[in-house]
Structure 1
């Protein structure tokens, strides 16, 4: 019988191309505040129309015109994103199971467009009481869409590449997302210097619209391809509905793994959110643009290494060992930033490398420690706990850095306290990951075997007992 178009490799990779574009724009948008932190916290007006990038000149600090946020209010933009994400991802998993991938990809990509639009609109109300509520509302809607969109993206990838280049496909989707982050750190400051903060935020919205158009393309390709394969609706038929009682079936190793993930990411994301401002405040001679480049090096490393590291860990195993190693090797990063004047690029590249290995070793370990029937619940719950932790960390960092914006330059002692807080999270990550390895060894050492040897031969499946987000041979997850 003639091979259908949907069975050919080019069709699968066409689906993958548009699937990769789903989150390119939203990841670009997510860290725009990090690059423009000085503008978000800048003065509402500057005397005599003079502006600077905030670097010291002739012993004084120049005026930066901006939205007038305090450090606490600025960090709240990241906290509300994380908390909303934490609440929505569990409900999103249920909705996707019940209504299908095509419903999910449309709704959640639309929420990123709506959220980024309201966020950009809020910037036009600077100096009024409407600015912060509008921008927080925008980040709330944006967060409710972006995290859930990643889950749908992974499910579509798993369906089309199950048993065929799955590790490569997951690596490419993550790389495209990180490409959005990297380009943000390279170009956003230059764009803002020419067009202003309002048009910069609307530019981010335009990229989210491109993601929405990609969602339409993915929906059409997915529908046509599944019909040609005679499998229309198969994911919905096989999906296990998310049930609250499934939480009771999750083992101790899972909870230790969730804590390991949470504590590691508590150090990475809140640091990146404030890194550009930190570099300018502590290290002399760095412009806002250069500081943004250096902060973005965390994602540069991830962009380059994600696919290669995933394939390596699939081959050698040792996921538990890598989890401990990543946490231990992250300790010097925050120590260097807090107490030395070693060039910050060393620390951000270093953190990017450990982050790449952590993402590739921690998230794909979840399918190895939970029953297959509870995998969807486990992934959503792990993402939720991770986001709760990140949100709390953003709030704590905001309190540490100050509640007033009277000083354009945040004192060094406040930055040191922030880095000590990051060190504390990393130490907690080491404790959780070591405990994870101890428990795992007592229960057969599953995490430290190669993936293909970690799992028994799959028994005959029963309807409703599969988790289409992942195959049984290779794990993946919302590797943020």
Structure 2
């Protein structure tokens, strides 16, 4: 008779709470994107507060807010990315050394503390403490959220490697994006009714949900490993992990990391400013409508991620999908830069290619690195990604201007930003082509079809002990 941890229902229970880890933190991550007008609004308005960007006669009205410049606003995203870039390498290594249970609790707690400090900083309007407090909040929040994603992926890879790996990754992404989607749908309405401060505190409360889920999945993961008799083996493998193992990661891994970085350089900075861009370029869009359209990137991802995961699990060809989704992203930024095609077309299109990219790129990492160093590899990949995203946020902030006196950013500045997004997408295509070339010269792990998969691919978690030993021998110098 199978022990509970060997049953399919058990690992899907692990997956459920693992998915809920980042629901609240992803909601909070993009809250500045919806509240951009309030964050960049004037400290005072002559005739009171106006929440709409346009008046009834089509003229611009004063929006009361915290008085940030476009550069300061984009710094909220940049500092999140830079923090990730530094912290996640150490976080991934610590997760490999100390285990999932350490990671899920500590990093969930950091998201709660960071989102709370960010909300508290909004109460210091007009004070020199406002920006430092909110930046510190984003720093703590970034330390937790980026690292939390690593341990989330590590848990998913352990319980689903050789099974429904892309599906499991797709579902975790769907739950995360559900938080982002609900943010774009409800945050502006909540702010209009209760004000910005209460809205930000509501986001912090959702991060508490992640902390509760972290405690639950930690117990399930620990009990499951013990029932499978793997807790002692994994601890032994963890003791062998060294930070020097980074130098032994294969070329395919690094090309995969570059492909991920360049793709996300186009997605995250765009979404951060998309709501403002839509209002500035396309006439007739309210702040709420623009937020809905910007959020369509995540709406598409929410709907498609699980189905795309099933498709990639069945078909394989992860490297081919990486090239394809990068190539098909080029028209998105071209339309936004040079045409007046309704923006909803571009955001839905980007959401579709983003879904395929996330389901093909991130689940490929466990296929090219050994299980014992997966946390370190995931942390390093996230670090490189966030370095790129952080620099992109900074560049975009300067492209859009450093002064808040221009309520409407000139169209030529937005066009520069879209051309920059195009350049990143071209770099992504080049990196993904290189990835496919190297994969073909080796064992074609990434582009192996379901039909060509080795018999050992359909493993239960109970076989993970042998998997750990095999991978360690294969890599030789890694451990």
Scaled by the length of structure 2, what TM-score is found? Answer: 0.91
Quote the Cα distance in structure 2 between the aligned partners of 1:467 and 1:16: 24
Quote the Cα distance in structure 1 between the aligned partners of 2:268 and 2:443: 33
Mark the CA change 1:425 to 1:167 in structure 2 (over 3 Å): closer, same or farther: closer
- 1:60 is paired with a residue of what secondary structure? coil
Deviations 1:284-327 (A, max 9, x none): 11111111110011011111111111221222222222212111
The aligned residue for residue 425 of structure 2 is: 426
The aligned residue for residue 110 of structure 2 is: 111
Mark the CA change 1:72 to 1:25 in structure 2 (over 3 Å): closer, same or farther: same
Quote the Cα distance in structure 1 between the aligned partners of 2:170 and 2:465: 28
Mark the CA change 1:392 to 1:200 in structure 2 (over 3 Å): closer, same or farther: same
Mark the CA change 1:460 to 1:397 in structure 2 (over 3 Å): closer, same or farther: closer
Mark the CA change 1:32 to 1:310 in structure 2 (over 3 Å): closer, same or farther: same
Indicate conservation of the 8 Å contact 1:373/1:465, yes or no: no
The aligned residue for residue 60 of structure 2 is: 61
Q: CA RMSD in A?
A: 2.5
- 2:44 is paired with a residue of what secondary structure? coil
- 1:47 is paired with a residue of what secondary structure? coil
Mark the CA change 1:233 to 1:405 in structure 2 (over 3 Å): closer, same or farther: farther
Deviations 1:201-237 (A, max 9, x none): 0000000011111212223333444444454455333
Mark the CA change 1:271 to 1:467 in structure 2 (over 3 Å): closer, same or farther: farther
Deviations 1:3-57 (A, max 9, x none): 5444444443333322221110001000000011111111111112141411254
Mark the CA change 1:75 to 1:105 in structure 2 (over 3 Å): closer, same or farther: same
Indicate conservation of the 8 Å contact 2:237/2:372, yes or no: no
The aligned residue for residue 300 of structure 2 is: 301
Quote the Cα distance in structure 1 between the aligned partners of 2:371 and 2:156: 18
1:91 shift after superposition? 0.8
Mark the CA change 1:240 to 1:364 in structure 2 (over 3 Å): closer, same or farther: farther
Unaligned runs of 5+ in 1: 469-480
Matched, 1:96 2:92: no
Deviations 1:171-209 (A, max 9, x none): 222211111111111100000000111000000000001
Quote the Cα distance in structure 2 between the aligned partners of 1:460 and 1:117: 39
Within a 5 Å distance, the mapping from 1:80-479 to structure 2 comes to 80-163=79-162, 165-239=164-238, 241-370=240-369, 374-450=373-449, 453=452, 465=469
Deviations 1:225-269 (A, max 9, x none): 444445445533333654333233233332222211111110000
The aligned residue for residue 477 of structure 2 is: none
Quote the Cα distance in structure 2 between the aligned partners of 1:222 and 1:434: 37
- 1:448 is paired with a residue of what secondary structure? coil
Indicate conservation of the 8 Å contact 1:26/1:208, yes or no: yes
Quote the Cα distance in structure 2 between the aligned partners of 1:47 and 1:234: 68
- 2:122 is paired with a residue of what secondary structure? helix
Mark the CA change 1:59 to 1:306 in structure 2 (over 3 Å): closer, same or farther: closer
Quote the Cα distance in structure 2 between the aligned partners of 1:107 and 1:236: 19
1:464 shift after superposition? 6.6
Deviations 1:396-454 (A, max 9, x none): 00000111101111111111111011011111112222222233333354332226746
Quote the Cα distance in structure 2 between the aligned partners of 1:75 and 1:173: 27
- 1:158 is paired with a residue of what secondary structure? helix
Quote the Cα distance in structure 2 between the aligned partners of 1:156 and 1:107: 15
Indicate conservation of the 8 Å contact 2:154/2:374, yes or no: no
Indicate conservation of the 8 Å contact 1:368/1:454, yes or no: no
The aligned residue for residue 72 of structure 2 is: 73
Indicate conservation of the 8 Å contact 2:96/2:374, yes or no: no
Quote the Cα distance in structure 1 between the aligned partners of 2:464 and 2:172: 30
- 1:44 is paired with a residue of what secondary structure? coil
Moved more, 151-160 or 277-286: 151-160
Moved more, 171-180 or 316-325: 316-325
Quote the Cα distance in structure 2 between the aligned partners of 1:393 and 1:163: 35
Mark the CA change 1:316 to 1:163 in structure 2 (over 3 Å): closer, same or farther: closer
Aligned residues: 468
The aligned residue for residue 20 of structure 1 is: 19
